[in-house]
Amino acid sequence: MQRTIGTWRPAARFGRALLALTLAVPLVHAYADEAPSLPTPVDAPERGAPRPRGVSALGRLEPKDGVRHVSGPSLPVVVVRDLLVDRGDLVQKGQLIATLDTADLQSAVVQEKTAELANARREYDRSLQLSRSQVESDSRRDEWRTKVSVLEAQLARAEAERRLTQVHAPMDGQVLDVHARAGERVGEKGILELGATQTMYAIAEVYETDVPRVVVGQRARITSPVFAKELGGVVEKIRPKIEKHDTLGTDPAARKDARVVEVEVRLDESSPVAGLTQVQVEVTLLPDVAAPAR
């Protein structure tokens, strides 16, 4: 009887375990069907390319085409007789701005040659009539005709020399500075400086390593302590020549021998700074900002 009981108990335990396992398997499958699925891992989005940086540079204000040094004729000695304009005056192209001290002398020469030519023409007409009447030889007539031609050339030269004593404005603009007044000899700087201040530019000195980030049509921002209002502009030209740094900033650690390229930025508004030629400015060339359509 004890052997029978000892044999039955392990079998009973195995049966109960098999029954429990049989009942648990459907529950596991049911839970697996109803359990929320985990989200599928998603690759992180690729980081976009960095935005191009703007370019900052020191610069200066200049009128269109720079500053003109207006002089008299190309003679060894030129002295001003009358200066008809002064600093800050607006002038128009062709306007008389100065006369030289030889003006009276050249006017007298013109008058002299004019009188001589008039007399020679009368003599030539008279000789022509006498030649037709065979009273005077043809050679005499030809002499007067030659003299008329010579005097015409001399008068043209005298008039040209008189015009050289009158200095006219080569363009519309503003007188920026005066270097020779009445009675003074004209030196290397000329009589005066003239600039087309109706159209102003900021000349930015961009380091040569930053030039690849500058394009024509790029928008720019111009600031300076001299004027309160921030100005806008557009890159109009990148000069092809590399220069040494010309504009001196306030940073003592800045390189003074740096190589730069001058970039011409046309200002949107010129009138607020028309009288500020050569003022130092800070120019920021903005990235990805093109010029407005015109």
**pLDDT tens digits, one per residue of 99-110:** 999 999 999 999
- List, in order, residues 6 or more apart from 180 with CB less than 8 Å away: 80, 83, 186, 187, 190, 191, 192
**Segments forming the whole domain that contains residue 142:** 103-164
pLDDT of residue 217: 94
Q: Mean pLDDT, to the nearest integer, of 171-188?
A: 96
Same structural domain for residues 60 and 115? no
Closest Cα partner for 81 from 13, 154, 166, 151?
A: 166
Same structural domain for residues 205 and 159? no
pLDDT of residue 226: 93
Q: Mean pLDDT, to the nearest integer, of 127-147?
A: 86
User: What is the pLDDT of the chain when averaged over all its residues?
Assistant: 83
Q: Mean pLDDT, to the nearest integer, of 31-48?
A: 45
- Tell me, yes or no, whether 254 lies in a domain: yes
Q: What is the count of structural domains for the chain?
A: 2
- Tell me, yes or no, whether 48 lies in a domain: no
Q: Highest-confidence range of 78-92, 124-138, 230-244, by mean pLDDT?
A: 78-92
- Tell me, yes or no, whether 84 lies in a domain: no
Each as own residue / partner, the long-range contacts of residues 45-53 (CB below 8 Å, 24 or more positions apart, any chain) are 51/287, 51/288, 52/213, 52/287, 52/288, 53/213, 53/287
pTM value surpassing 0.75: no
- How does residue 52 score in pLDDT terms, banded at 50, 70 and 90? low
* Angstrom distance (rounded) from CA 13 to CA 11: 5
Same structural domain for residues 146 and 212? no
Same structural domain for residues 59 and 200? yes
pLDDT of residue 272: 92
Question: Does 41 score more than 80 pLDDT?
Answer: no
Same structural domain for residues 112 and 257? no
